[in-house]
Structure 1
Amino acid sequence: MTVTHTPKTGSDTAVRDYVQALLRQIRADEDARQETIRALETDGHRIISGGQTGEDAWDITDWRTGDLIANGTGNYDDYGAAVERLDPDGKWRHIDHVDSDPTIVEPVGIPDSLADALQDWLGSSATTDEDVAEFVGWSLDEVTRHREEG
């Protein structure tokens, strides 16, 4: 027995609208994150990145410039001790701990499971800006602007 379903009217539009809403929210969340970073830096904080680079190695880099601040061998506790030693005033903030509160985009007219799949698709490094632009009907530049950091 073959079962066919007729798509709900406007379901293609609902999917595109949802992906467009996700793109707009990604941009808004990143803009908020960048504003938080600027405020921290204005307040005298240094944004760092790095951490464990292997089972027995770590590094600390300046997030803005990519300059290596320190590296060494040891575990996470050794890394933490190095951060405390090099930043006695506690002015460093790891980029992984600089957050804006992301806004949840509620799906309208599509099932939650499809919304989850679309979020995964949009967040995948395998999904090209070209694929997204073609799907949502935006220019490549517009999609790239919405998906990029900074």
Structure 2
Amino acid sequence: MTDTTAEMATADAAIRDYVRDLLRTSLVDEEARQEKIRALEKSGHRIVDGGQTGTDNGLPTWEITDWRTGDLIKGGTGSYEAYDAAATQLDPDDKWLHIDKVDDELTEVEPVGIPASLADALQDWIGSAGTSDEDVAEFVGWSVEEVAWHRDEA
């Protein structure tokens, strides 16, 4: 019989290291994103969110919101052209940026010692609202507060 205890310990460490790296990298990415947003706002830009929200009597509905506060700026019905016309009317100086245009590419974390498919599943697990900070903390050996900080900021 072959003893695979050492191999299992190595795989276990690789998985935990990968999850820790995911947490650390997502925090660094989010800090860079927030800094970029602050610089854009300081230069006079307003960060907005919104788009199609559903339908009303068969017509598409949309809204434009302030990204930072969540306040509704304008809502309406109609096509993308109606949304775009409202945004242009409300922002004639072209100082609004949709949050989707601000978001940067996320830093890839190279899975070392684990299959790519397992790395993908771990990314989904970390990002799932159904995964508690307590579960992640227990798995990686961090405090719940430290995990929460990494996940809340990211």
Q: TM-score normalised to the size of structure 2?
A: 0.89
Asked if 1:79 is matched to 2:83, the reply is yes
Cα RMSD over matched residues?
A: 1.7
Amino acid of the structure 2 residue aligned with 1:120: D
Q: Deviations over 1:35-74 (max 9, x none)?
A: 1100100110001111111131111111111211111111
In the aligned structure 2, how far is the partner of 1:147 from the partner of 1:88? Answer: 37
Q: Is the 8 A contact 1:14 1:110 kept in 2?
A: yes
Amino acid of the structure 2 residue aligned with 1:106: E
Asked if 1:96 is matched to 2:100, the reply is yes
Asked if 1:110 is matched to 2:114, the reply is yes
In the aligned structure 2, how far is the partner of 1:5 from the partner of 1:20? Answer: 28
Amino acid of the structure 2 residue aligned with 1:148: D
Q: Is the 8 A contact 1:36 1:100 kept in 2?
A: no
Q: Secondary structure at the match of 1:107?
A: coil
Residue in 2 aligned with 1:148?
Answer: 152
1:5: Cα distance to partner? Answer: 8.8
Moved over 6 A (4+): none
Q: Secondary structure at the match of 1:70?
A: strand
Residue in 2 aligned with 1:123?
Answer: 127
Q: TM-score normalised to the size of structure 1?
A: 0.91
In the aligned structure 2, how far is the partner of 1:100 from the partner of 1:40? Answer: 14
Give the share of equivalent positions with the same residue, in percent: 65
Residue in 2 aligned with 1:30?
Answer: 30
Distance 1:139 1:83, change over 3 A: same
Give the count of matched residue pairs: 147
Larger mean Cα displacement after TM superposition, 30-39 or 65-74: 65-74
Listed as ranges, the gaps of 5+ residues in structure 2 are none
In the aligned structure 2, how far is the partner of 1:149 from the partner of 1:105? Answer: 18
